[in-house]
Structure 1
């Protein structure tokens, strides 16, 4: 069994949408350090509309390749051995993203359902639904959606700042930890979502809400 944060970012709130920035290597190193403190075995790097490999710098956590694609109906997480390296936001349909991901032996997850679009209504052949670490109170709705779609539930922190890493993660039933084994476990339903809900996590979510409020007041684009 392995604990995998299926959804995390190396860029602080994506100030430059769709393009790598100087924060990438720094963010990756800090994300790895925070994940180790949370005892996470692997983290999927799922930046918006691009994938760039980074070394975790230690045996744990392992970085899993991934990308968060902005489709015509919202976001889709592609995780696995060979995700796209670049996508143009708002140009690919959910069906196209899923088809290309499956051709590359990747899994496709609906992230943060009920936010940022209607991708959960697209009818595309997704592999799982995410319980997002920013919205644990939507757990019942997420599980109901998963039942309706006949899909397993995974979990990810959706960390944009490294200290958010590991607040939600997926327990993966696998004999070895590789991108391919994570994909296989998701597709087979050998996964279990976990969300940390202690006092520190509640304070973290409150801080996150304040940061987004401040960003909205500053006129910057949300990540």
Structure 2
């Protein structure tokens, strides 16, 4: 079995520089919470996205579709904003992630985000896992997009931050929407801060080395989604710590 969080971030926020020490604190906390793997889905328009990947390439071994970070598998990926609101998680080999990120360079500003259909077209045929992130979040919903286009995704994200904000009933709403589309649902902590790990977890029946293997396991239903009874405490503590850290960085500047 492999326990994995499919929506995580390696930086405190999009505006901060990548810190290897902070990233390692994230990885260690993930392991402390029983995770064997995470998908690093940093925002595609985060500050110096390529620099983050360069540092990961320099410091860690890469096998299959993941970095080996002190025994934790860190699958490469990114979170892409699409036009008319919505975020899509793309997980796959670092070469595909780098290539897609380069293609999206003209689409990093809010007024030029790529259309969802075009993003699907550009990623069709590649061994990638494509997930609709926090699909019913009020600020970035996916519910208004064309249903046939959404059906080209592999899954929707039951997001820990949304469960905290809207209540655990949000999980049922996402499941109903996914059932309507014929999609799977997976769990993502959406963590920018170590304390959030373990709030939601996917327990995959078989150990995976590539995004394609992971996709196959998920589509076959060979996994169980777990929502921690401590989710509210974990997310609230993480949000409070994130705000304190951001304030301390401003004071330092």
| 1:62 matches 2:73 | yes
Aligned to 1:178: 210
Question: CA-to-partner distance for each residue in 1:29-62, whole Å, 9 max, x for gaps?
Answer: 1111011101101110001014626334322x20
User: Which protein has the bigger helix share?
Assistant: 2
- TM-score, with normalisation over the residues of structure 1? 0.82
Seen in structure 2, the aligned counterparts of structure 1 residues 190 and 139 have a Cα distance that, compared at 3 Å, is: same
| 1:117 matches 2:147 | no
How far apart are residue 66 of structure 1 and its match?
0.7
Seen in structure 2, the aligned counterparts of structure 1 residues 205 and 162 have a Cα distance that, compared at 3 Å, is: closer
Structure of greater Rg = 2
Rounded to whole Å, the distance in 1 between the matches of 2:197 and 2:207 is 24
How far apart are residue 153 of structure 1 and its match?
0.8
How far apart are residue 101 of structure 1 and its match?
2.5
Give the 5 Å matches for 1:62-211: 62-72=73-83, 73-81=85-93, 82-83=96-97, 84-86=100-102, 87=104, 88-89=107-108, 90=110, 91-115=113-137, 116-122=139-145, 123=147, 124=149, 125-136=152-163, 137=168, 138-198=170-230, 201-208=231-238
Give the 5 Å matches for 1:12-31: 12-16=12-16, 21-23=17-19, 25-31=20-26
Seen in structure 2, the aligned counterparts of structure 1 residues 30 and 130 have a Cα distance that, compared at 3 Å, is: same
How far apart are residue 69 of structure 1 and its match?
0.2
How far apart are residue 80 of structure 1 and its match?
1.8
Question: CA-to-partner distance for each residue in 1:163-220, whole Å, 9 max, x for gaps?
Answer: 212321212233544333112223333333211122xx322333455578889x9xx9
| 1:48 matches 2:39 | no
Rounded to whole Å, the distance in 1 between the matches of 2:3 and 2:27 is 14
| 1:7 matches 2:7 | yes
